[in-house]
Structure 1
Amino acid sequence: MHSTALPWGTVINTRRIAALAAATVLGTLSLPGIATPAGAAVTDLYVDNSATAHCSDAGHGTIAQPYCTISTAADRVLPGQTVHIAAGEYHENVRLTRSGTADAPITFTGVGAAVDTWRTSSPPSGVRYTSLGLASAAPALTVTGASHVRFQDMQYVSGASAVVVDGGSDIRISRGVARSAPDNSAFFVDESAQDVTISQIQYYGAHFAHLSEGTKGTVLSTNRIWNWTVPSRNAPIIEAVSAPGTVVVGNSITQACSNEAVALTGASTGSTVENNVIEAYRCGDQSQSVQLEVAAEAVGGTKVAYNSYASGPVPAYRWAGKTYSSSADFTAASGQGAHDVVGPVDLYNLRQTGDQGDQPSSIFDSADENAPGMTDRDITGEPAVDDPYAPDTGTGSGHRDRGAYEITNFATRYTPTGPTRILDTRNGTGVGRGAAVPPGGTVTLPVAGLNGISAGLTAVTMNVTVTGAAGPGYLTVYPHGEDRPTASSLNWTAGQTVPNLVTAKVIDGKVSFYNGSNSTVHVVADLLGSYGTAGSGYVSTTPTRLLDTRNGTGAAKAPLTNGRPIELQVAGRGGVPAGAITAVTLNVTATDTSDHGYLTVYPHGTDRPTASNLNWTAGQTVPNLVTVPVKDGKVSLVTGGTNGTVNVVADVAGYFTATGGDRYHALTPTRVRDTRIDPWLPDAGLGHPGPITPRRAPGFSAKTEDQNARSVSLNVTVTGGTAPGYLTVYPSNPGNLRPLASNLNWTPGQTVANQVVVGLGGRDDDYYNGSEGTVHVVTDLNGYYAP
């Protein structure tokens, strides 16, 4: 666990995607101005105190001239309006007294959701924190007597309580980060406030929430609470004092054992405690501490069920003054605790490694979806996903996990198939009718149940090709049902036909293809394999050249001609064993192209499929990663659609075997490196953005959270190259020699993407710029392989 030390003061933070990287991915995007017709109601106010915003608190909070302070917006906002807060440091204590209505609430929203520091060890590429605060010990936000208000996508950090709710009703605070002083609660709900919801918040500190006497119907849902310090005030992490109707559901709580995790005291009757995961750590003999306490005055109408508690020195329950360490004893005495489990929780490791299929956990697919206050998605925005290894023991779909996180990181194996064409927007294959993907449009492709797809499907490997584009753009392939990530799978210019290997996570049986351009484009996808509960494991090898028709390596010294296949022996070469392999992963490059054409790589001894792995025009050098089934130790390569010749180079990256190997963990594509905006160059303090210089090989972390990861699946893009060159990605172990292999090739100004599967050297890989000019590199993490 890594955390960033923050100075004590009053802070409200929002998050920005630097330089609009999230919207543009690669390239530029023009945003239209917003005009307000005469007499039209103003629905949006803006706050931005950056030097270039030309803000004024004397103005009207428009996008052209925003307010400088959040407080000014809070003093002027009307029902139905949304206040958009840009990234920046806002040194103020915000107090809101104005109310919305049930039909027209007031909303304050930051820029982007809070960074999930449990998913990656550092913020995703392009994300930077911004802060608002004073050196005084005052709340970052105080809501006094206001009703029907919403706050989202912000950070709240203070030397006192971060947020105070003083009366009012229908108040929602969601998607953020909070920090408070050690002896203060991050959220202090007071003075008979009603219907306050605090959800999807990440908290670092001792006391998360205090609900004072008289508050009613407070909901604490889907929060990640890390009790990392022992306070001088021995108060519970969550404390409800005579607060009837309190709902504590779907939270993940790490408890430092010096105080209770959840305590319902006084007349906190009619409350609900469900779907929580509580993990105790740093525990000695803490005989006075328990994980859940419900006082005798609070037991009336209160429900406790579907929770997972860590076994150990801290008892799970104190109910009406009596302590119970097992759920069976608790249920027998109280009639509560249905479906509760006391046992190993191991929350942090489960977040890192996912479900391995061999370590049953009470967390997976076991929540009560019908519990009050449950959010539609987890704290990171993930929907409920069926764990292929876990029985569905919860209510509703049976797929919802307990706690704040939906575990979607499953260890699965590969089953090669095809190649088989499953999508072609030119003729309607896979989508019902032929039509180009419109600008900004998305195509949804069902993949579950297709011939050859693995049981317990978690990901598919496809060769994806774009063609017929009238202008430049990019394609993002991502799991259907999730928000589109800040990542790109392919990039093209007008008229280009560009392929790339894509391994896409699957959560609901479908995959989405987004056209990030201002023109139409056709998309073609050939299925190469899938990941599920059975199949082959992956073994990474040192990149080794197996084929080069320019010099006779692996085949005759002669370029390929149209329709005449060559065979390449892969078994027993370049670190690939002689037997027991089911597929091989090659980085294949077409070069010296005298005419346009395409290349197909397929299993030797089988019929040539209707599919292509590489496409080119005359004079191009084009690389692409290819994973191809192996049946007899060989693969075949053939060109088509050409009247010319082409030389072909193939470097082995790894292989799949039915007798071991690593399992794949599919992730939603996440940007982990962008040299255009990331401060990686070390010669200016903490560093600054900049391209890779000629003949240099800096080491970059793949930022996998699983310490057992041995190789990673990346989508690597080069852009802005000032001279022709190539990129080699390889493990950065000390003493590692750069291999005679390349992953990408480019010409000046070209943007080229390619999937790269590479072993990890420690936690890093080296990126060698084989060019006499500089080049920028953008890397998206798609998944990783681990034992």
Structure 2
Amino acid sequence: MLLSALALPAVGAASASGTPADLFVDNRPGMYCSDTGTGEQSKPYCTITKAAAAVQPGQRVIIGPGRYPEAVNITRSGRADAPISFLGQGVSVTDNDKTVIGGTGTKTTERALSVTGAQHVLIKGIDFFASQEGVHVENSSDITVLRGTVTGAQSAAVRVTGSSARVTLGKLDLTSTIGSGIAVDGGASATVVSTNRIKAGTGAAVSVTDAPGTVVVANSVQALCTAGIELAGASPGAVVENNVISPVEAYGTLPGSCAEERPAAVRVSAPSVTGSKVDYNVLDTANGLAAYAWSGTKYSDRAAFTAATGQGVHDAFANPHIPQRGDRHAAALPTVDSADENAPGLLAPEPYEPGFEDDPLTPNSGTGTGIRDRGAQEYRNVGTAFTPLGPTRVLDTRLGIGAPANEQVNSYLELQVTGRAGVPATGVTAVVLNVTVPQTWDSGYLSVYPLYGWSGTSNLNWLAGETVSNQVTVPVAANGTVGFVPHTPYGVHLIADLAGYYGVSGSGFTPTAPARALDTRTGTGATQAPVGPGGTVDLQVAGVNGLPAAGITAVTMNVTVTDGTGTGFLTVYPHGRPRPGTSVLNWTAGRTLATLVTVPVVDGKVSFYAGSSGTVQFVADVAGYHSDQGHQVYHSMTPVRLLDTRADTPTLCQAPPRPAAAVPAAGTLDLPVCAAAEATSVTLNTTVTETGAAGYLTVHPHGAARPLASNLNWTAGQTVPNQMVVQVLDGKLSFYNGSAQSTQLIVDLVGYHSF
């Protein structure tokens, strides 16, 4: 386990008697340890046993990394207001860097650590190796053991016995246990077993015998031959909640040596039923395993168990396994976002630990925040889902929207995006904006990124006099803002139209191979005719080109305007809604321009409006769609440069760098995208520059036929960026240069979708 957060503390002030506030133990070479001193940092003790005999209430024993081949017995007590602490200083997962108590070989100890007749003691960040018991707590109270592993114990990894009371065992990794995991017996009371990973061998993972008031919560348990959790003898008043219990056989073959081949996941004796509560557990009943043996009766059906006992109302008798590959949400995830946060004994994350993550595709069914998972492990890297909005104008420096009116931006503009225009104040990771720079005075480029983020990408490039637009998916800073930095000799006005946001709720994504949905030149998706001034084209997207007929919330398309006979702008918006005062493209006569658009879908359609002084042709290629049935989530990231053909570029895939070379005319460049190894589609900001002739760029999944689609269009000498969303099939993308001359290509990865 990583214990780097337990960094070596500063030496505290000495007490009036001259005793140091902290005692130190470090037997590594060069630390000049001695058991004849006072355990100061400059001359630490060599053994933990010596420190345990000297420690006083309120003191901490700081134990350096390494192995301590001794059997330690703690008998001294702290006070409620001044506990004694034993803190390991392991910094990594190697044996040399962990703090390990216990002998090996001929020096093997039966017990690594014993706490006998002591009170108010904390033991944290220490691993244990012993032949019988890693940790033994007897006739002690208010003892806490946190964060550690136990190896080699054939009786029990941890045992609490005698008249012990209020012992907490938390965040332990006991997955190499030979015997029982945690054994609570001998009249112990009010023991808390919380947030542990336990894989038991010949005994129960958590065995409670004649120990009233035991709390067993939020553990991830696998048992081999007996119950995962057992309340035996007379152990009334127990609470068993938020645990995830699986048989070892669910992940392998159950050995034939087991005396009972179908043990119940939880076994509760008749005397232990009184006052006990079981609920919010996930119990895997695979291969005939019973979920409960309750007062001698086995139950494999949750409804029947609840009807007979009144218990387990929120239990799930289901497979808790979350697939590591493929569609993680193809089936329900019973462990995710479903714990009872009101259960006693739950341990909060420490300051250096990550908190609980809200899976955007799983309903929050737990109590409290509703996002804590059951078991000891939180499902992480859950990604975010998309909520389409608008399009809504959130920035226009000409009109004072989102910034002072009539003030051009020449350095940096910070735009608040959360808490306005339908975007929540919290839980937002990225926003999708269509950004426009109108009526420029000189050439330049614009970078859009979060505050203190990376600014090496250009999202828009322009020449003097141009009006340019591009869709941008940009991470949101912790204060809910995004930043705009123009790079130009003169200031520029900025316009941003909100298309939606990524957060802890919304719709999943489904990428598609580029598919032409609209081409007014050929009659695809609309009448074969140019669109006149003020004309509107309603495009059916649901039920077409492989898209589902219902459930689509938004569609992502690469939209192109061409053959314009006058100047104009394009607005793409949800069908049937009032046309907003926004635009996604601006053109002049004769120009061919493309941009990515993500737009809400209403009635299965989207609408295209030509705010033009002449006629124009519209082309749209679908790249994917968001829906309630989509199971792919978005991962926003700091941009990663995948390619710059102007320079030797590392591939990030443990392969030689690609030598600098332009993409030749009618040539294809295949690019690995292993920076997002699990990606089903990637979001790229792609720029062409040093273009020798007019042309277009088509980006498509490697290995698939090049589609009739384009992502970028340019004229000779232009530098043009465009955001694109491209499906990934085999870890590579193909970039086709549809030009009579070579072009240079720059590709930045700004995010990706995955299951």
Q: Is the TM value for this pair above 0.5?
A: yes
Asked whether 1:272 is paired with 2:242, we answer no
| Conserved? CA contact 1:189–1:211, under 8 Å | yes
Asked whether 1:381 is paired with 2:355, we answer yes
Asked whether 1:289 is paired with 2:263, we answer yes
Map 1:243-258 onto structure 2 (within 5 A): 243-256=211-224, 258=225
CA distance in 2, matches of 1:372, 1:439: 50
Closer, same or farther in 2 for the Cα pair 1:336/1:40, shift >3 Å? Answer: same
* Residue type at the aligned position of 2:146: I
| Conserved? CA contact 1:255–1:280, under 8 Å | yes
Q: 1:600: Cα distance to partner?
A: 5.0
User: Paired residue for 1:636, among 608, 633, 638?
Assistant: 608
Query: In structure 1, the residue corresponding to 2:322 is in which secondary structure?
Result: helix
Residue in structure 1 matched with residue 37 of structure 2 by the alignment: none
* Residue type at the aligned position of 2:281: N
CA distance in 2, matches of 1:157, 1:717: 51
Asked whether 1:173 is paired with 2:146, we answer yes
Asked whether 1:756 is paired with 2:725, we answer yes
| Conserved? CA contact 2:599–2:606, under 8 Å | no
User: Paired residue for 2:344, among 360, 372, 376?
Assistant: 372
Residue in structure 1 matched with residue 556 of structure 2 by the alignment: 585
Q: Could you list the per-position Cα deviations for residues 385-444 of structure 1 after superposition, in whole angstroms to 9, with x for gaps in the alignment?
A: 798868x6x6557776644567899999988653124689996879xxx9x9x9999967
Q: 1:504: Cα distance to partner?
A: 9.2
Q: 1:590: Cα distance to partner?
A: 10
Query: In structure 2, the residue corresponding to 1:445 is in which secondary structure?
Result: coil
Q: How big is the alpha-carbon RMSD for the aligned residues of Structure 1 and Structure 2?
A: 7.7
Q: 1:273: Cα distance to partner?
A: 0.7
User: Paired residue for 1:309, among 283, 296, 312?
Assistant: 283
Q: 1:366: Cα distance to partner?
A: 6.1
CA distance in 2, matches of 1:744, 1:44: 65
Closer, same or farther in 2 for the Cα pair 1:540/1:778, shift >3 Å? Answer: closer
Map 1:569-718 onto structure 2 (within 5 A): 576=545, 584-587=555-558, 600-602=571-573, 609-613=580-584, 624-627=596-599, 629=601, 635-636=607-608, 651-654=621-624, 663-666=630-633, 669=636, 687=654, 695-698=669-672, 700=674, 712=680, 714-716=682-684
| TM-score relative to the length of structure 1 | 0.55
* Residue type at the aligned position of 1:276: N
Closer, same or farther in 2 for the Cα pair 1:633/1:133, shift >3 Å? Answer: same
Residue in structure 2 matched with residue 445 of structure 1 by the alignment: 418
Closer, same or farther in 2 for the Cα pair 1:531/1:259, shift >3 Å? Answer: same
CA distance in 2, matches of 1:71, 1:444: 57
Residue in structure 2 matched with residue 221 of structure 1 by the alignment: 194
Q: 1:490: Cα distance to partner?
A: 10
Asked whether 1:731 is paired with 2:701, we answer yes
Query: In structure 1, the residue corresponding to 2:580 is in which secondary structure?
Result: coil
CA distance in 1, matches of 2:88, 2:153: 27
Q: 1:775: Cα distance to partner?
A: 6.7
| Conserved? CA contact 2:327–2:631, under 8 Å | no
Map 1:536-555 onto structure 2 (within 5 A): 540-543=511-514
Map 1:13-412 onto structure 2 (within 5 A): 13=2, 92=67, 132=98, 136=104, 149=122, 151=124, 164=135, 169=142, 171=144, 173=146, 180=151, 192=164, 194-199=166-171, 209-211=181-183, 213=185, 217-223=190-196, 227=199, 233-241=201-209, 243-256=211-224, 258-265=225-232, 268-280=235-247, 282=249, 286-287=260-261, 289-295=263-269, 298-299=272-273, 301-311=275-285, 313-319=288-294, 323-326=298-301, 337-339=311-313, 341=315, 343-348=317-322, 367-375=339-347, 381-382=355-356, 402-404=374-376
| Conserved? CA contact 1:585–1:627, under 8 Å | yes
CA distance in 2, matches of 1:317, 1:277: 13
Q: 1:270: Cα distance to partner?
A: 3.7
Q: 1:576: Cα distance to partner?
A: 3.7
CA distance in 1, matches of 2:414, 2:21: 27
CA distance in 1, matches of 2:602, 2:278: 54
Closer, same or farther in 2 for the Cα pair 1:56/1:542, shift >3 Å? Answer: farther
Map 1:474-623 onto structure 2 (within 5 A): 474-475=449-450, 500-502=471-473, 513=480, 526-528=498-500, 540-543=511-514, 576=545, 584-587=555-558, 600-602=571-573, 609-613=580-584
Q: 1:630: Cα distance to partner?
A: 7.5
Q: 1:182: Cα distance to partner?
A: 9.0
Q: 1:373: Cα distance to partner?
A: 1.8
CA distance in 2, matches of 1:69, 1:757: 59
CA distance in 2, matches of 1:194, 1:400: 25
| Conserved? CA contact 2:499–2:598, under 8 Å | no
Query: In structure 2, the residue corresponding to 1:282 is in which secondary structure?
Result: helix
* Residue type at the aligned position of 1:234: T
Q: 1:377: Cα distance to partner?
A: 7.4
CA distance in 1, matches of 2:415, 2:63: 27
| Conserved? CA contact 1:601–1:637, under 8 Å | yes
Once the two structures are aligned, what percentage of the paired residues are identical? 26
| Conserved? CA contact 2:557–2:621, under 8 Å | yes
* Residue type at the aligned position of 1:382: F
* Residue type at the aligned position of 2:599: T
Q: Could you list the per-position Cα deviations for residues 13-45 of structure 1 after superposition, in whole angstroms to 9, with x for gaps in the alignment?
A: 4589xxxxxxxxxxxxxxxxxxx9999999999
| Conserved? CA contact 2:90–2:98, under 8 Å | no
CA distance in 2, matches of 1:669, 1:371: 34
Closer, same or farther in 2 for the Cα pair 1:681/1:306, shift >3 Å? Answer: closer
CA distance in 1, matches of 2:707, 2:22: 55
CA distance in 2, matches of 1:445, 1:631: 28
CA distance in 2, matches of 1:222, 1:402: 9
Q: 1:372: Cα distance to partner?
A: 0.3
CA distance in 1, matches of 2:161, 2:720: 56
Higher Cα radius of gyration = 2
Q: 1:547: Cα distance to partner?
A: 9.0
| Conserved? CA contact 1:576–1:655, under 8 Å | no
* Residue type at the aligned position of 2:283: Y
CA distance in 2, matches of 1:447, 1:80: 51
Asked whether 1:766 is paired with 2:733, we answer yes
Q: Could you list the per-position Cα deviations for residues 308-333 of structure 1 after superposition, in whole angstroms to 9, with x for gaps in the alignment?
A: 43345222233456645556776687
| Conserved? CA contact 1:700–1:767, under 8 Å | no
How many residues get paired?
A: 649
Q: 1:189: Cα distance to partner?
A: 6.2
Q: 1:586: Cα distance to partner?
A: 1.8
* Residue type at the aligned position of 1:171: T
Q: Could you list the per-position Cα deviations for residues 670-694 of structure 1 after superposition, in whole angstroms to 9, with x for gaps in the alignment?
A: 7898879x99866xxxx47967976
* Residue type at the aligned position of 1:264: L
